[in-house]
């Protein structure tokens, strides 16, 4: 059978759960702060990186939102996205579905147009120069009222052709999906895909709400589905994908060690799970580092690893014929390595 590290390096892959603001590396935080004249409470990239020792989701989010203050111009969003796409190329990521959080920028006076203009210009260059296809998913911040999300939805109207879907992120405890039914109904009616973070730190009941009340096409994280046998059966029956983020779950203390992660148990239970990086600048690495960490701690078989990669295509919003093209490539390359 093929060596796992060869498979990880050589198989084409998709990434379905990446917050573009979570790819803001400490060195870029410092460079953009200097470029934009922003004063930060840390003096160097090393000093900032030393703070990346999180107890839970909120302790991460506090730092993450503070760092995003350095993102101010369209060029900043272009540079951020381009740096991520270069990492994708290095990791053989051929398709990526990117989250962005407009509210964390528009609330600081940055225009919606600057945010989406910079991101989409880099994505277009990534498609033409690196051959990486993409979809853009606009997330609503769930710690803010639904009225804020509705105002953001209104702001997004001129740009809907560039937005494939909407998502729900930020602090989970106390902010259940049921609070966002109106804005998700509007997005669904406009023909957008819907996804939501659920069951990362919050209970399995939030996954159920995301399915029943927001009518999502995928669940982001969703690992606490392990607490409900009935929900696992439902997800298997409906081919409901969970965009799992292994390094994130360990760094945010959802699991004490990677060895405790239920990824392979979920895979073997028949769930459509795959590997993603979430916020790679904060959690120890980009997509292939996540695959490597899983390979080391959980020791999947080559067949399990290949299924995780295939699930990343099957759960993507790529048209069926492109999914089939990449699935055939995965088979061809795996066969050549075995
Ligand atoms: N925003 C960025 N990363 C997130 C995560 N892991 N959970 C919820 N919101 C987020
Ligand atoms: Zn996330």
CATH code, domain carrying 14: 3.20.20.140
Q: Which residues of the chain have pLDDT under 50?
A: none
Counting from 1 in the atom list of ligand 1, the atom nearest the Cα of 21 is 2
Encode pLDDT of 102-122 as tens digits: 999 999 999 999 999 999 999
Q: Say which ligand is closest to the CA of 142.
A: 1
**200 carries an active-site annotation:** yes
Whole-angstrom Cα Rg for the chain: 19
Cβ of 21 less than 6 Å from ligand 1 = no
Cβ of 280 less than 6 Å from ligand 1 = no
Q: For residue 312, is it within any domain?
A: yes
Q: For residue 145, is it within any domain?
A: yes
* Cα distance between residue 206 and residue 175, in whole Å: 9
> How many domains, the chain?
1
Quick one: pLDDT at residue 338? 84
Quick one: pLDDT at residue 1? 62
Alpha helices in the chain (DSSP H): 4-10, 26-36, 45-49, 57-67, 74-90, 103-106, 112-125, 146-156, 181-189, 204-212, 229-237, 246-251, 263-268, 280-283, 287-298, 302-314, 320-337
Marked catalytic residue, from 15, 25, 97, 200: 200
What residue numbers bound the domain in which 237 lies?
Answer: 4-19+71-336
Interval between CA 17 and ligand 2 midpoint (Å): 6
As given in the structure block, the two tokens for residue 150 are: 């509705």
Cβ of 248 less than 6 Å from ligand 1 = yes
pTM exceeds 0.95, yes or no: yes
What letters, b where the CB count within 10 A reaches 16 and e where it falls short, cover 286-315? Answer: bbbbbbbbbbebbebebebbbbbbbbbbbb
- Candidate of 197, 242, 247, 277 to mutate for ligand 1, largest count of ligand atoms within 8 Å of Cβ: 197
Cβ of 197 less than 6 Å from ligand 1 = yes
Q: For residue 266, is it within any domain?
A: yes
* Cα distance between residue 157 and residue 159, in whole Å: 5
What letters, b where the CB count within 10 A reaches 16 and e where it falls short, cover 258-282? Answer: beebbbbebbebebbbbbbbbbbbb
Cβ of 290 less than 6 Å from ligand 1 = no
Quick one: pLDDT at residue 2? 75
Q: For residue 30, is it within any domain?
A: no
Interval between CA 169 and ligand 1 midpoint (Å): 6
* Cα distance between residue 230 and residue 220, in whole Å: 19
């Amino acid at each position: 059978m093929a060596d796992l590290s060869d498979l990880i390096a050589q198989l084409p892959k998709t990434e379905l759960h990446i917050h573009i603001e979570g790819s803001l590396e400490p060195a870029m935080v410092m460079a953009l702060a200097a470029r934009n004249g922003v004063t930060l409470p840390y003096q160097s990239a090393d000093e900032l990186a030393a703070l990346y020792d999180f107890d839970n989701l909120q302790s991460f989010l506090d730092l993450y939102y503070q760092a995003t203050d350095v993102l101010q111009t369209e060029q900043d969003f272009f540079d951020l996205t381009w740096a991520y796409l270069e990492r994708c190329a290095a990791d053989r990521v051929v398709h990526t579905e990117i989250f962005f959080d407009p509210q964390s920028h528009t609330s600081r006076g940055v225009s919606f147009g600057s945010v989406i203009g910079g991101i989409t210009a880099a994505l277009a260059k990534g498609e033409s120069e690196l051959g990486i296809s993409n979809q853009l998913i606009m997330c609503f911040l769930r710690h803010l009222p639904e009225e804020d999300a509705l105002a953001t939805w209104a702001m997004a109207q001129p740009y809907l052709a560039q937005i494939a879907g909407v998502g729900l992120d930020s602090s989970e405890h106390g902010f259940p999906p049921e609070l966002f039914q109106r804005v998700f109904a509007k997005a669904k009616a406009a023909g957008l895909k819907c996804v939501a973070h659920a069951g990362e730190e919050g209970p399995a009941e939030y996954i159920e709400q995301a399915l029943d009340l927001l009518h999502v096409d995928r669940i982001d994280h969703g690992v606490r589905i392990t607490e409900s046998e009935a929900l696992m059966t439902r997800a298997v029956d409906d081919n409901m994908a969970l965009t799992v983020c292994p390094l994130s779950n360990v760094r945010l203390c959802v699991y004490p060690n990677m060895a405790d992660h239920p990824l392979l148990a979920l895979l073997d239970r028949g769930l459509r799970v795959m590997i993603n990086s979430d916020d790679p600048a904060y959690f120890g690495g980009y997509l292939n580092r996540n695959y490597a960490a899983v390979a080391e701690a959980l020791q999947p078989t080559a067949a399990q690893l290949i299924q995780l990669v295939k699930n990343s295509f099957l759960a993507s919003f790529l048209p069926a014929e492109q999914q089939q093209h990449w699935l055939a490539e995965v088979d061809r390359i795996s066969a050549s390595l075995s």
